[in-house]
């Protein structure tokens, strides 16, 4: 895939450049599209104040366009997309938009309303705004979720909190966008949910590269980030492959539909607002990239498992605590504890890594694994020539039934890459050739580690800052030094770790965690081992409490 992509921006200049003072790693190079009003001759965007609705609810759509007229249509995004509502020839209006709309919201007036149909099945629905651009069709999209009515054991939790953090519509996100230097990554700690979604997070061509790199570099080859190169060339958000539907949940949902598995849909924000959002389900499914959670979201999940529910987590990078403020319209994450206004008064709710000691709630307590145990694989210069798959450790585990996998076998390796981009693991030791959790990072004693892959804390820089890196190790080291005093042994030395597949029981329920953002690669590319493991998990977790497999 990578061989057919254009070279990275300024590649030749990078190869021959003289060293500059200090590293300038940034993949925020000029040329990436960051959408906001005033950027082009024809503009069209829309959004809704809420993301999820029940049948019978009224949806208020806020729209902005420079065209004289526009159309809206609502399409359930299944294997066979179905249009359920539309409005044509609406009068176009352009509206003033705050310069910091990324933080405070757009504030556009309501343009049109519609009611969620009683017969609309649960799912993600694309809300598409369309205008004429000199004879060419110009489209952008938003979304709504129709919540499930508990007619299936399985609830798919959409990662709306992580999407909010990566959404750079309006100029900034939780990683970059502030300040005048395009090479300096200055994030916004406050991000509004009341704005459009960056291009590529909801829709993009099926061939669009992912953050996991299936290409194995040759000797001396510079690291590549195909997803960023593609975004730079084709006018998509630099973060199109980092989060949400088009990259992660959509391929899973379509695979499940093809398997005849019915899913109800919820969002992370539903879990925040309603501690009973998972009542009546046997299994809560999380797919892809679920890096950001509020304490209330975790509370809902923890109570669900304690009371007999199960978590099927095919996702990676469980890492940051966030807060919702301003009537839940703004998501807050300062990351560096001392910057948070609550640092001195309420450290338990400071928005930083869950592993920060004053919070006292390691991510492993909820998911078994966490996002600070290695993190990267097959990403730029981070383990670029690894297998890209998981190596089986305990082939007798129930998840491997009917897979014919043996100890030491690798499944989902390159070019499929189910173990890539960002991964979760735990601190572990080896006894008689098998991995066991040490518990030093909060991992439960009964955690069974059934498969592993290499992972590293960040990308090593062998080019003195002259080659763009997505996650330079020096940045990770700086965060760790801020979070811990003293720094735990597990973060010292080379900071090599491991991505893992693991399971454990808690209370009356259980958790299966395939700790990789890219697990869905094995489903969309039909790796038989990944598919069968996923079937085994969903089948076993289709009943609450006891773990008897339904016949």
pLDDT band at 3 (very low <50, low <70, confident <90, very high): very low
pLDDT digits 0-9 by tens, 420-459: 999 999 999 999 999 999 999 999 999 999 999 999 999 9
The mean pLDDT of 291-303, rounded to a whole number, is 98
The mean pLDDT of 268-273, rounded to a whole number, is 98
The Cα 399–Cα 231 span in angstroms is 37
The mean pLDDT of 475-498, rounded to a whole number, is 86
The more confident residue out of 339 and 474 is 339
For the cut 60, the answer to whether the pLDDT of residue 267 exceeds it is: yes
Q: Could you give the residue ranges of the DSSP H alpha helices within 277-331?
A: 295-306
pLDDT band at 533 (very low <50, low <70, confident <90, very high): very high
Q: Judge whether 518 and 531 are in contact, CB under 8 Å.
A: no
Q: Could you give the residue ranges of the DSSP H alpha helices within 97-237?
A: 101-104, 160-166, 226-234
Task: Indicate the angle between helix axes 528-540 and 249-258, nearest 10 degrees.
Answer: 80
Q: Judge whether 249 and 242 are in contact, CB under 8 Å.
A: no
pLDDT at 474: 83
For the cut 90, the answer to whether the pLDDT of residue 23 exceeds it is: no
The Cα 379–Cα 385 span in angstroms is 10
The mean pLDDT of 32-40, rounded to a whole number, is 87
Q: Judge whether 163 and 150 are in contact, CB under 8 Å.
A: no
pLDDT band at 24 (very low <50, low <70, confident <90, very high): low
The Cα 127–Cα 3 span in angstroms is 35
- Structural element, H or E, at residue 256: helix 249-258
The mean pLDDT of 375-386, rounded to a whole number, is 95
CB atoms within 10 A of CB 333: 24
Determine the distance from the C-alpha atom of residue 439 to the mean position of all C-alpha atoms in its chain, rounded to a whole number.
Answer: 26
pLDDT band at 10 (very low <50, low <70, confident <90, very high): very low
Q: What is the mean pLDDT of the chain?
A: 92
Alpha-carbon dihedral sign for residues 304, 500, 391, 434:
negative
The residues pairing with 437 across neighbouring beta strands, listed in sequence order, are 428
Question: Which backbone phi and psi does 202 adopt, to 5 degrees?
Answer: -110, -35
State both tokens at 220.
């001396």
DSSP string for 377-422: ESBTTBSTTS-SSEEES-TTSGGGTTS---TT-EES-TTT-SS-EE
Measured CA angle at 258 (ends 403, 316), to 5 deg = 60
Q: Which of 444, 312, 435 is nearest to 370 (CA)?
A: 444
| Domains and their CATH numbers in the chain | 44-147 (2.60.40.1930), 162-167+198-540 (no CATH)
User: What percent of the chain has a predicted confidence (pLDDT) above 90?
Assistant: 81
For the cut 60, the answer to whether the pLDDT of residue 327 exceeds it is: yes
Range in 22-26, 68-72, 155-159 with the lowest mean pLDDT: 22-26
For the cut 50, the answer to whether the pLDDT of residue 9 exceeds it is: no
Q: Could you give the residue ranges of the DSSP H alpha helices within 470-543?
A: 473-483, 521-524, 528-540
Range in 107-116, 174-183, 259-268 with the lowest mean pLDDT: 174-183
- Structural element, H or E, at residue 322: strand 320-325
Give the distance between the most distant pair of CA atoms in the chain: 72
pLDDT at 8: 36
pLDDT band at 47 (very low <50, low <70, confident <90, very high): very high
3-state helix, strand, coil in the chain (%, to 5): 20, 25, 55
Q: Integer distance in angstroms from the first to the last C-alpha of the chain? A: 42
pLDDT digits 0-9 by tens, 405-417: 999 999 999 999 9
Q: Which of 520, 501, 535 is nearest to 252 (CA)?
A: 520
User: What percent of the chain has a predicted confidence (pLDDT) above 70?
Assistant: 93
On the CB side of 87, how many CA atoms lie within 13 Å of its CA? 15
Pairing of strands 390-392, 410-411: antiparallel
User: How long, in residues, is the chain?
Assistant: 551
The pTM of the full predicted model, rounded to 2 decimals, is 0.93
The Cα 337–Cα 220 span in angstroms is 39
């Amino acid at each position: 895939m990578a061989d057919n992509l254009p070279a990275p921006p300024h590649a030749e200049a990078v190869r021959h450049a003289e060293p500059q003072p200090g590293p300038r790693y940034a993949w925020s190079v000029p040329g990436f599209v960051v959408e906001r009003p005033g950027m082009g001759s024809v503009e069209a965007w829309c959004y809704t104040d809420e993301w999820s609705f029940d049948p019978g609810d009224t949806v208020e759509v806020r729209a902005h366009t420079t065209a004289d007229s526009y159309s809206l249509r609502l399409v359930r995004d299944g294997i066979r997309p179905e249009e359920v509502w539309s409005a044509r020839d609406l009068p176009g209006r352009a509206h003033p938009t705050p310069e910091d709309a990324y933080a405070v919201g757009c504030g556009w007036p309501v343009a049109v309303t519609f009611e969620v149909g009683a017969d609309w099945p649960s799912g993600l629905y694309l809300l598409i705004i369309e205008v004429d651009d000199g004879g060419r069709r110009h489209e952008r999209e938003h979304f709504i979720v129709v919540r499930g009515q508990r007619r299936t054991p399985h609830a798919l939790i959409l990662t709306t909190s992580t999407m909010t953090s990566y959404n750079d519509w309006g100029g900034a996100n939780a990683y970059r966008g502030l300040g005048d230097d395009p090479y300096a990554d200055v994030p916004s700690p406050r991000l509004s949910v009341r704005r459009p979604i960056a291009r590529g997070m909801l829709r993009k061509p099926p061939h669009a590269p992912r953050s996991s790199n299936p290409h194995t570099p040759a000797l001396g080859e510079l690291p590549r980030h195909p997803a960023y190169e593609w975004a730079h060339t084709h006018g998509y958000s630099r973060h199109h492959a980092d989060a949400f539907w088009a990259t992660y949940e959509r391929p899973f949902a379509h695979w499940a539909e093809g398997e005849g598995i019915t899913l109800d849909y919820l969002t992370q924000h539903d879990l925040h607002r309603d501690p009973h959002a998972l009542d009546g389900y046997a299994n809560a499914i999380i797919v892809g990239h679920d890096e950001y959670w509020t304490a209330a979201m975790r509370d809902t999940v923890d109570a669900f498992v304690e009371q007999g529910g199960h978590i099927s987590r095919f996702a990676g990078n469980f890492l940051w605590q966030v807060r919702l403020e301003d009537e839940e319209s703004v998501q807050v994450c300062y990351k560096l504890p001392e910057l948070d206004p609550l640092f001195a008064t309420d450290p338990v709710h400071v928005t930083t890594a869950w592993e920060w000691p004053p919070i006292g709630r390691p991510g492993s307590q909820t998911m078994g694994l966490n996002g600070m145990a290695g993190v990267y694989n097959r990403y730029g210069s981070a383990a670029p020539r690894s297998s890209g798959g998981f190596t089986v450790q305990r082939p007798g585990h129930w998840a491997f039934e009917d897979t014919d996998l043996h100890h030491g076998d690798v499944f989902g390796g390159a070019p499929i890459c189910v173990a890539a981009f960002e991964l979760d693991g735990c601190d572990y030791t080896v006894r008689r050739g098998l991995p066991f959790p040490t518990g030093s990072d909060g991992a439960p004693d009964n955690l069974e580690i059934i498969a592993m892959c290499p992972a590293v804390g960040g990308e090593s820089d062998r080019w003195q800052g002259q080659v763009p890196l997505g996650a330079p190790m020096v940045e990770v080291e700086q965060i760790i030094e801020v979070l811990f005093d003293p720094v735990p042994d597990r973060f010292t030395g080379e900071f090599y770790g491991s991505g893992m597949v693991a399971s454990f029981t808690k209370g009356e329920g259980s958790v299966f965690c395939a700790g990789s953002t890219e697990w869905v690669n094995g489903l969309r590319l039909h790796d038989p081992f990944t598919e069968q493991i996923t079937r085994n998990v969903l089948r076993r977790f289709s009943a609450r409490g006891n773990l008897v497999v339904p016949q």
